[in-house]
Amino acid sequence: MQSDDQMSGFVRLPNRGFLRLSGPDRLTFLQGLVSNDVNAAASGHAVYACLLTPQGKFLHDFFLIADGESLLIDCEADRRGDLAQRLKVYKLRSKIEIAQADYAVYAVLGAVPAIAGAIAYADPRVAALGSRIVLPAGMDAVVFGDGGLSELPFEIYDRLRIARAVPDGSRDMEIGKAILLENNIDLLNGVAWDKGCYTGQELTARTRYRGLIKKRLVPVTIGGAVPAVGTPLMENGMEVGEMRAASGDIGLALIRLERLRQPGSIDMAGTILTPELPDALAPLVAQTQP
């Protein structure tokens, strides 16, 4: 699954949208809401974080990007309005403004060209996903040609992140149900364990320190018909997981750790799913839970 490491080029990410958070309280406001340390967002360094329910379940994931005296929030395009509305619920007397922002974002695999007026940063989740470049609206991607980069199909990038067990927001995590650690957000630099309280922190911390994780989102190779998203993975009459994403012959599945510790593939009436654990996941799956 990991043969694309040396590939170079840029990929349009059309499923992304932007909000701008401005005002003197922008950092303290977000710091009490999201799973990561907002203060770490700086020029050239983005923060990956999540907004959770009070019960610690997934609502949104996004990148926080410092842009002068404001923060850009790189989020799911078709859920941008929902994220803005949820943030406004917590605004109260905070001196902040939340507005939509018109930008485009690209993933860059390989060397990152210098582009005037662009914001560039390494993907904070996994090094193999390269860098991201944010361009103002109307700034055509042809500028990448100056750096010798050609455009790659979105499928290339999608398969790359699937192979690293990286979820893509609500495409792979159920809104209001998904738990961060089951979906590898802890391994993707999306949780700051040493920051103060935030919404949903109690369950997130308890899940980690009490060893309550029972499943993990893992890459699988698929032989045969591709199961639809949400399909229960059945083996010997027992549910051992659930299909979450697919791109051709690879996918992501949320599989019980006890099944991942067993050798062999999962045979679902002719469809064969073979877990392929990235290096960061393998030792966690092997651990014996208390």
Query: Which one-letter amino acid corresponds to residue 175?
Result: I
Q: At residue 251, does pLDDT exceed 80? A: yes
Any alpha helices (H) in 52-93, and if so which ranges? 80-89
What class does CATH assign to 9-163? Answer: alpha beta
Per-chain mean pLDDT for the chain:
91
From-to residues of CATH 3.30.1360.120 in the chain: 9-163
How many distinct helices (H) and strands (E) make up the chain?
6, 15
Q: What percent of the chain has pLDDT over 90?
A: 77
- List, for residues 169-217, the tens digit of each pLDDT value: 999 999 999 999 999 999 999 999 998 899 999 999 998 888 788 999 9
Residue type, position 87, single letter: L
Indicate the helix (H) or strand (E) that contains 232. Answer: strand 232-235
Higher pLDDT, 289 or 60: 60
The encoded tokens of residue 114 equal 């210098």
Checking if the pLDDT of 149 tops 90, the result is no
Query: How many Cβ atoms are within 10 Å of 85's Cβ, its own excluded?
Result: 10
**Which CATH number applies to 214-290?**
2.40.30
> What are the CA-CA distances from residue 287 to residues 58, 98, 121, 254, 290 (Å)?
25, 43, 34, 17, 9
**Phi and psi, residue 80, nearest 5°:** -60, -40
pLDDT of residue 238: 93
Nearest to 124 by CA among 198, 49, 60, 32: 49
